[in-house]
């Protein structure tokens, strides 16, 4: 993989991970070929045979991501769920997975269902309870600790370095879903993680117009080779056009994430004592229990995600979501537009999320306009 040549993150992002193509285009070319010709001696040109194994556009996007994450290799997938599934398929029946009780709901449910089918054990821990993570790991049996540094959607903070130490002491690998932070704010490999996962649909792309997933490894080992083999043979590859869009998105990830973080910080500080709210959940508030850890393992801000707990419970929270005019009522995060979502309604009756919680993905609009929209939505329910 191409190295960063010690450039700053913003420089590496803007240049797409490597210099200009040898043929001269400033913008990365789009190669849509699905198959590649062989030479007269039947050897493949540049080792490429079929696009499920190799595609120049996908490879360039993988190089760009690897530079941003500081890894030993990156792989792109058709979605974030496909990337997560590739990690799960590298496990063996009888292995155990340790993960938070509260995390991205769809992935948590899928891991539980997959574990039942694959013969894997599941051990859950409560991120806000000291010692819970360490107690949930089973020495010699736990093979994977899966965490989010910012737990979606409560935004509790997990110490990556401490989690890595606990995982490695138990003989497990640490996989970090860093979707809500992006490498612009946090590089888990720098803190001891073994693999970083992203739903690249979100901040890495940043424009809500493609599905993609990504994994970056800190070690080119047998476990990584198993993941790569599953990506190829399972067909969970990313298309060339999607890779081209993702590469374009990653070139501005630092600018978008910086603006979203600034906006989220302003919104969190504005509403922290609002009479219509029970709580503002944002790791950038000094009153947040995880503020010191977040400050240590993140740089340049605390992200664009926050949650509001609305006074009055389920009905009041839904009323606020109905009354917004600028925020879009939609699932997802990390785009340039601001979104609002009542998570308990989405997750259903078994959700561990409080029914007064609204999850906000803050975009790059003017912060005063976003604040005014939430103010009028909260005022309308009184």
Please list the active-site residues.
Answer: 52, 104, 177, 202
CB contact set of 232 (below 8 Å; sequence gap of 6+): 52, 53
Q: To 10 degrees, what angle do helices 313-323 and 367-380 make?
A: 130
CA-CA distance, 20 to 32, in Å (whole number)?
19
Contacts of 6 (CB under 8 A, 6+ apart): none
Q: Which residue's structure tokens are 């490695």?
A: 168
Asked if residue 214 lies in contact with residue 84, where contact means CB atoms within 8 angstroms, the answer is no
What does the angle CA 165 – CA 184 – CA 169 come to, to the nearest 5 degrees? 5
- DSSP line for 5-33: TT--HHHHHHTTTS---TT--SSPPP---
Q: Please write down the HEC assignment for all residues of 74-97.
A: EEEECCHHHHHHHHHHCCCCCCEE
DSSP code of 245? H
Place of tokens 């797409």: 16
Tell me the C-alpha to C-alpha distance, in Å, between residue 189 and each of 18, 111, 219, 236, 241. 21, 23, 10, 24, 28
State the DSSP code for 189. G
**Which residues are bridge partners to 280 per DSSP?**
308
Cα–Cα dist 323/382, whole Å: 12
Q: How far apart are CA 188 and CA 174, in angstroms?
A: 10
Strand partners, 146: 175
Provide the phi-psi class of 340: left if phi over 0, else alpha when psi is between -120 and 50, else beta: beta
Are 302 and 284 a contacting pair, CB within 8 Å?
A: yes
Tokens found for residue 245: 């869009």
Q: Sheet holding 277-281: strands in order across?
A: 277-281, 305-310, 357-361, 339-342, 328-329
Longest dimension (CA), the chain: 78
């Amino acid at each position: 993989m191409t190295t960063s040549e010690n450039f700053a993150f913003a420089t590496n992002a803007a240049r797409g991970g490597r210099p200009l193509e040898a043929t001269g285009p400033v913008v990365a070319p789009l190669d849509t070929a699905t198959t590649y010709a062989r030479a007269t001696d039947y050897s493949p040109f540049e080792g490429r045979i079929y696009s499920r194994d190799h595609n120049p556009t996908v490879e360039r996007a993988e190089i760009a991501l690897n530079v941003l994450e500081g890894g030993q290799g990156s792989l792109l997938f058709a979605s974030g769920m496909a990337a997560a599934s590739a990690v799960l398929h590298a496990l063996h029946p009888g292995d155990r997975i340790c993960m938070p009780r509260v995390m991205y709901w769809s992935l948590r449910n899928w891991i539980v269902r997959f574990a039942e089918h694959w013969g894997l054990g599941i051990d859950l821990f409560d991120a806000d309870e000291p010692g819970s993570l360490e107690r949930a790991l089973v020495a010699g049996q736990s093979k994977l600790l899966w965490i989010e540094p910012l737990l979606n959607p409560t935004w509790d903070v997990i110490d990556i370095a401490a989690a890595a130490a606990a995982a490695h002491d138990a003989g497990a690998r640490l996989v970090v879903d860093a979707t809500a932070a992006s490498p612009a704010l946090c590089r888990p490999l720098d803190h001891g993680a073994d693999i970083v996962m992203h739903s690249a649909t979100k901040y890495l792309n940043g424009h809500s117009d493609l599905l993609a997933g990504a994994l970056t490894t800190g070690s080119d080992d047998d476990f990584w080779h198993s993941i790569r083999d599953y990506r190829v043979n399972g067909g969970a590859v990313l298309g060339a056009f999607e890779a081209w869009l993702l590469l374009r998105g990653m070139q501005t990830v630092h600018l978008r994430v910086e603006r979203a973080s600034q906006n989220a910080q302003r919104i969190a500080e504005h509403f922290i004592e609002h009479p219509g709210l029970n709580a503002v959940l944002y790791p950038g508030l000094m009153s947040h229990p995880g503020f010191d850890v977040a400050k240590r393992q993140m740089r340049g801000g605390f992200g664009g995600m926050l949650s509001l707990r609305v006074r009055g419970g389920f009905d009041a929270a839904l009323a606020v979501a109905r009354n917004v005019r600028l925020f879009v009522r939609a699932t997802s995060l990390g785009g340039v537009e601001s979104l609002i979502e009542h998570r308990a309604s989405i997750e259903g009756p078994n959700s561990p999320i409080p029914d007064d919680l609204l999850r906000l993905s803050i975009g790059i609009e003017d912060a005063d306009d976003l604040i005014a929209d939430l103010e009028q939505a909260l005022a309308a329910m009184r």
